[in-house]
Structure 1
Amino acid sequence: MLHHAPARPEAERAHRAERVDLAAAFRWTARLGMHEAVANHFSLAVNETGTRFLMNPNQMHFARIRASDLLLLDANDRDTMARPGAPDPTAWGLHGAIHRLVPHARCVMHVHAIHATVLACLKDARLPPIDQNTATFYRRVVIDEQFGGLAFEEEGTRCAGLLSDPKCKVMVMGNHGVLVIGESVADTFNRLYYFERAAETYIRALQTGQPLRVLSHEVAEKTAKELEDYPGQADAHLGELKAILDAEGSDYAS
C-alpha cells in the first residue's frame, strides 16, 4: 500500500486542473518505463508570463505522484533552494531557467527515455524522416552538442538558450536525454510519447544494417505540418489516459 504525507495547505493545491493533468502524465510516463528512478522532472507554467510553475517534489517516484504533491515555484525567487521542501537542484537549474527565459515553453518534460537517450549518444543525433512518426519532428528538433554535466543553474541557463525558436519543441540533449516543451500537459506529453516512439523506430531500423528509406524534404515537411494541424489528438490522448487511471481507481488526482 502506498503512503503519502498529509495534503498540503490550500494555497499549494491551487491550479487543480493543471495539477491533475500533470499527475496523470507522471503516472503514465512511469507505466511506459520512460522515467529514470527518481531523477527526471516535469513542470508546467501557471501564470501568464510563465514564471510560476508546478513541478514534482524532490526524489519522488513518478508512479506515486498525486496532484496535491506538486510544488508551486517561482522562477524569479532566488531563495527557492534555501526554503523547506526545495526541489531537486538540477530540476531547479534546468526548469527554473527555462520558465524564466523561454515564455513559450509553458510545459517542460525532461526524461532519460531509453531510445531518445540512445539517439542522444550518437555522433549524428539527427532523426531522419523514415516514417510518419519520425517525420513529425522533421526540422523541429534542436540538438545540444555541448553537454556540460549535471543541469545546475549555469548548465540550465545554457540549455534554455537553445530553445529560442518556437518551432523547435524537442531538444535532444547530447549525452544526456531528451527535453520536450509545449503549450499544455497534453500537448507536451503527446510530443514526448511520439518522440520516444520515433526514436525507437529509427534505432531499430539502424540495427537491421539495411539502407534507410528516407522521405523527401517535401513529403517530410508536408507530413509534419499536417500532424501539427491535426485537431484534438493530444487532448484526446491525455483524456483517455486519465479515463484508464480513473477506471483503475488510481489516486493520481487526489
Structure 2
Amino acid sequence: MNKPTSSAEVAKAGKVPAGMSAEEWQARIDLAAVYRLVAHYGWDDVIYNHASMRVPGEPRMFLMKRHELLYTEVTASNLAKVSMDEDLDESSGVNRPGFTLHGGVLAARPDVNCALHMHTEIGMAFSALKHGLRMLSQPAVRFYNRIGYHPYEGLTEDFGERERIARNLGDGKALVMRNHGLLTVGRTARDAFVLMEHLAEAADIQMRLEATGAELIEIPPDVCAKTAEQFDAHDRGRGQADWPAYIRILDGIDPGFRT
C-alpha cells in the first residue's frame, strides 16, 4: 500500500485515532481520496458503486463506503471496516452487492489491496460489446493479456458468484462485468484508480472509433506485449509520483476527506 515516510507524516495528514495504527489511517485517507476522485471525475452513481481497501496488518478485513453516503461525503474516519468472511447487508451499514463483490475479490487475491468498481454509461455500453477490449489506443494496451470477462448474473448478492468472479478475473488487473460495468484492482489505491482511469479512457476511445465505421488500426501483439511490460515497470517506479498530484487536486477542492 502507499506508505508515508513516518507515522508523524501520517499524523500531519489527520490525527490518527486512538487504537488505530498509522498504516490503517493512511489506508483510510487513500481510500477516501479514491471515492472523492471518482466523484470529481463524474464516475459516481449517487450512493452506489464502490471502492475497497484491505486493512494493513488485518488481511481478512477491508474498508468500504457506508451504504447511505454520497461519494463526496466519504472521509477517512467514516469508512466502514468489515470482515470479508461475514455475510453482511445494508442492516450492518454496507451495501450487499458491494460487500459481496469486493470481499470476494480481496479474499481471492492476496496481492490486491484496493479494488474499484463503477458502471458509467460508457462502461456499461462497452461491457456489452461481445468482442471486448481491442488494442486501439495506448490506454488499452495497459490491459493486454491482463483483463478478464464475467457474464452477467444479476445483482451481485449471492456469495456463490464470488468464486466465478475470482476465476474470471484470474491474476489480471481488470474485469469487464458484462452488461454491468468495470472493475480494476491494484496493490495500492493509486494503482486501482489509475487503472480505472485508463480503462475508462480505452472504453470511450474504442466506442468512439467503432462508431465511425472506418477501418481501424490495431496495435500489433508484439508491441502490445512490450508496452504492457513498460506500463508495469512505470507503475512500480515513476508512475507513483502521480498519486500525490491527485491528492493535491483534492486538497484544492475539499481537504475534508482526510478527517
Scaled to the shorter chain, the TM-score interval is 0.7 to 0.9
Task: Tell me what 2:178 maps to.
Answer: 174
Matched, 1:67 2:76: yes
Query: Quick one: distance in 1 between partners of 2:230 and 2:35?
Result: 28
Most deviating of 128-137 and 41-50: 41-50
Select 1:219's aligned residue among 220, 223, 238.
223
Deviation at 1:62, TM superposition (A): 0.9
Task: Tell me what 2:194 maps to.
Answer: 190
Select 1:132's aligned residue among 134, 138, 155.
138
Matched residues, percent identical?
27
Q: CA RMSD in A?
A: 2.1
Write the mapping of 1:107-146 to structure 2, written as runs, cut at 5 A: 107-124=114-131, 126-144=132-150, 146=151
Task: Tell me what 2:242 maps to.
Answer: 237
Q: Is the 8 A contact 1:111 1:178 kept in 2?
A: yes
- Secondary structure of the structure 2 residue equivalent to 1:67: coil
- Secondary structure of the structure 1 residue equivalent to 2:35: helix
With normalisation by structure 1, the TM-score equals: 0.87
Q: Is the 8 A contact 1:93 1:157 kept in 2?
A: no
Q: Is the 8 A contact 1:102 1:163 kept in 2?
A: no
With normalisation by structure 2, the TM-score equals: 0.85
User: Per-residue displacement from partner, 1:6-64 (whole Å, max 9, x unpaired)?
Assistant: xxx74578711111111111111111111212110111112457321111111311122
- Secondary structure of the structure 2 residue equivalent to 1:90: helix
User: Per-residue displacement from partner, 1:59-81 (whole Å, max 9, x unpaired)?
Assistant: 31112211111111111234x44
Query: Quick one: distance in 2 between partners of 1:158 and 1:56?
Result: 24
Q: Is the 8 A contact 2:149 2:169 kept in 1?
A: no
Q: Is the 8 A contact 1:58 1:88 kept in 2?
A: yes
Letter of the 1:40 counterpart = N
Most deviating of 221-230 and 150-159: 150-159
CA change 1:37–1:148 in 2 (3 A) is same
Matched, 1:251 2:256: yes
Task: Tell me what 2:9 maps to.
Answer: none
CA change 1:159–1:43 in 2 (3 A) is same
Q: Is the 8 A contact 1:43 1:109 kept in 2?
A: yes
Query: Quick one: distance in 1 between partners of 2:119 and 2:212?
Result: 24
Q: Is the 8 A contact 1:46 1:54 kept in 2?
A: yes
Gaps of 5+ in 2: 1-16
Task: Tell me what 2:53 maps to.
Answer: 44
User: Per-residue displacement from partner, 1:108-139 (whole Å, max 9, x unpaired)?
Assistant: 11110332222101222x21111211111111
Letter of the 1:34 counterpart = W
Number of paired residues? 240
Q: Is the 8 A contact 1:108 1:179 kept in 2?
A: yes
Gaps of 5+ in 1: 1-8
Matched, 1:158 2:167: no
